[in-house]
Structure 1
Amino acid sequence: MKLSWLDIRDTTAAKAAIIEEAIHQRVDGIVAADPADLQSLPPTVRRVLLPHGNAVPESLENVDLLLLDVTKGVPDEYGSRTDVQYGHFVEVIDAETLDKACVAARTQPWSVILFRDPTKIPLEIVLAAAHQATDNVIITAVADVEEAEIVFGVLERGSDGVLLPARSVGDATALRTAATAEPGSLELVELEVTGISHVGMGERACVDTCSHFRPDEGILVGSHSKGMILSCSETHPLPYMPTRPFRVNAGAIHSYTLSGEGRTNYLSELTAGSKVTAVDSKGNTRLVTVGRVKIETRPLLAIDAVAPNGQQVNLIVQDDWHVRVLGPEGVVLNTTELRPGDRVLGYLPTAERHVGYPIDEFCLEK
């Protein structure tokens, strides 16, 4: 879980309401310049003091973590008290301050870093420099929620958290949503194939993403919103063409796939910039960005399967040997060679769907 911190040092309007919202949304930390602003916070929120000008007050009674700006000089006695934790704040504006940020990230249990330039290269450098210091926490100061979403995903590790300036009520909610946006994991089930049939011509969609799929990874696709099969990426060698590890030959254009935030999309709806959920054979998920969708007319093959609970599942794919699905333990199965009794991996969403959103109402799909 990524950490979400709110910066109220320069907040003037509606400060009390902003703090109340942050508590309600379970923001992980609040950063203030005055200890008095931290006094009313519950123990569920980390109370962080970052005083203007490094002026440390005599009493730190309401403070859990004290940060000082290393570019303004840190007193020799800094870190000597046992009643608070310590960390460094660094504003990166040039090569010298970037070096200070790298040192802080490697040596300090807590680092808050503000990058003034819009490029994310300095952040990548800091994260790489602190790669071995796995216990140290790096918080990146951001300008808005959109930047927070980017920072969370820089490199595979990403920043441990972000610090967002609180300008108005609603900021805490938006930040918390961005911090918890990772899809998590899904409970896959083994489906038993009950039938394979040639169903004639139609349009199928290849989903080309901006990511490199792993060997046991693909996307979930199905004719019905409550039953999907794990379609395999083209990561594995093919006899007559090079691998395309960014692609899933997913299925007919009417098919559902999982996108973000529990939503589904038809394959025909996906465009460049859309998000889809990549899933591996253990159910681990991640959001990937669609770079292109190729829709072409091809002969089609219908795969019928049944779940242990009796749920019927159908997937219609291109009728060709190189289209594959994943079986138990990540076994790669050519769809044209499937036979009744074979087992494939699938997922059974429980909610009905309306324009892709889960809803609680009667819906019969055939």
Structure 2
Amino acid sequence: MEVWLDNRNNLAELSNYGIESIDRIIQSIEHSNNTDIPLINSDGKSIIQAGKVIGEIININGADGQNKARSLVGSVNWLLLEFEDWSMIPIENIIAACAGSPTKIAALIRTPAEAQGAAFALEIGVDALVIRPDQQMIDSALIAKSQRGEIVEPISAVKDIGNIELQPLMITNIESGGVSDRYCIDLTSLLEIGEGMLIGSSSSCMVLIHGETLASDYVPSRPFRVNAGPPHAYIVMANRTTKYLSELIAGDEVLIVSDSQTCKSATVGRLKIERRPMILFSFKNTNDKEAQVFMQQAETVRLVTLQRKLRAVTDLTIGENVLGWSSPDARHIGVAVPSEVVER
């Protein structure tokens, strides 16, 4: 993706801005600049480079503007889209129309939010962001360009990030956990059957709490949700650090783990916090390390057995084994450190 500087008003002294990374400058046809950056001239209707018309300027002020842009797909190299009122829908529609054609899209943007929207629309994005001389907008466009450059595969709300070793955890005790603030983690993407999050009262020993991907006789499925537990519980993040549930905010990237030990990241969209009755489970790993987890007393909260079967927490019994994860490291502000700590 390119970044173009729009100086068609010829009012800006470009030396006042950090434009070294700008790909092209648009200017009025009678004006010239002393710069090494490639120049595009404009006569108000077309954009011209090296004396050749390379594209058309389209004002998107409704369905007529969108239809005109779509009618030019395949017949011009560039469509420069300008908006009276910014809207993502026409950009998405025109990106879709240009797919598989030689026509590229440049979009005039005015805010950092518009830069992100245009750069990643339909997981494809426009081919050039056009910005007026303003340092904040120059920086925002260049950041979006850099983010686009980091993506080597189609953008996804869920990113595969390797594997993790799960192990059996044997339940040693079950008792009432009282009533607590229960956190449901709602994601911006959907979970598959077999997927969940690693949650526990110890940062080095957690259970795999399954997503609400199965419906019950009384409630529909919520395949974007994990009923995670109370605020003090730890969760493993996408970068393998930990956070308390109380620290999570929308936009955080959490680790999603499957019963086949594959991992991916997903984005937190919302936290739903309510007072609910809890069950306290104690368990130990294969090295007899003991830990606990509080989970809501509800049939929709499920763990995963060693046979990859789902078990409601209300049906679990002492002596059963469920899938979980352990680490020998302690944690300091969520980061693994080679020291000792006791959590009980």
With structure 1 as the length reference, what TM-score do the two structures score?
Answer: 0.63
Q: Which one has a bigger Cα radius of gyration? A: 2
Q: How does 1:269-308 map to 2 (within 5 A)?
A: 269-270=247-248, 273=250, 275-277=252-254, 279=256, 281=258, 282-290=262-270, 292-302=272-282, 304-305=284-285
- Give 1:146's aligned residue: 113
Structure 2 distance, partners of 1:125, 1:79, is 27
Amino acid at match of 2:3: W
Structure 2 distance, partners of 1:97, 1:70, is 19
Q: How does 1:102-113 map to 2 (within 5 A)?
A: 102-103=70-71, 113=81
Q: How far did 1:4 drift?
A: 6.8
Structure 2 distance, partners of 1:261, 1:55, is 53
2:109 counterpart of 1:129: no
Structure 2 distance, partners of 1:350, 1:140, is 49
1:311 and 1:153, CA in 2 relative to 1: closer, same or farther beyond 3 A?
Answer: farther
Q: 1:118 aligns with which of 86, 90, 98?
A: 86
- Give 1:200's aligned residue: 176
Q: How far did 1:89 drift?
A: 5.5
- Give 1:5's aligned residue: 3
Q: How does 1:45-60 map to 2 (within 5 A)?
A: 51-53=26-28
Q: 1:238 aligns with which of 187, 211, 216?
A: 216
Q: How far did 1:72 drift?
A: 0.5
CA deviations 1:282-308 (Å, max 9, x no partner) are 42323241063334232233455469x
1:168 and 1:78, CA in 2 relative to 1: closer, same or farther beyond 3 A?
Answer: closer
2:153 counterpart of 1:176: no
Structure 2 distance, partners of 1:297, 1:56, is 72
Structure 1 distance, partners of 2:238, 2:12, is 33
2:341 counterpart of 1:364: yes
- Give 1:248's aligned residue: 226
Q: How far did 1:125 drift?
A: 2.5
2:192 counterpart of 1:191: no
1:145 and 1:173, CA in 2 relative to 1: closer, same or farther beyond 3 A?
Answer: closer
Structure 1 distance, partners of 2:309, 2:68, is 49
- Give 2:154's aligned residue: none
With structure 2 as the length reference, what TM-score do the two structures score?
Answer: 0.66
- Give 2:45's aligned residue: 72
1:96 and 1:293, CA in 2 relative to 1: closer, same or farther beyond 3 A?
Answer: same
Structure 2 distance, partners of 1:263, 1:195, is 24
- Give 1:25's aligned residue: none
- Give 2:310's aligned residue: 333
Equivalenced residue count is 321
1:316 and 1:147, CA in 2 relative to 1: closer, same or farther beyond 3 A?
Answer: farther
Q: Give the conservation status (yes or no) of the 8 Å contact 2:73–2:101.
A: no
1:214 and 1:198, CA in 2 relative to 1: closer, same or farther beyond 3 A?
Answer: same
CA deviations 1:211-252 (Å, max 9, x no partner) are 452324544434344565553321212233222233221123
Amino acid at match of 1:215: E
Secondary structure at 1:241's aligned position in 2?
coil
Percent pairwise identity: 21
Unpaired stretches in structure 1, ≥5 consecutive residues: 23-29, 34-50, 81-85
Amino acid at match of 2:281: L
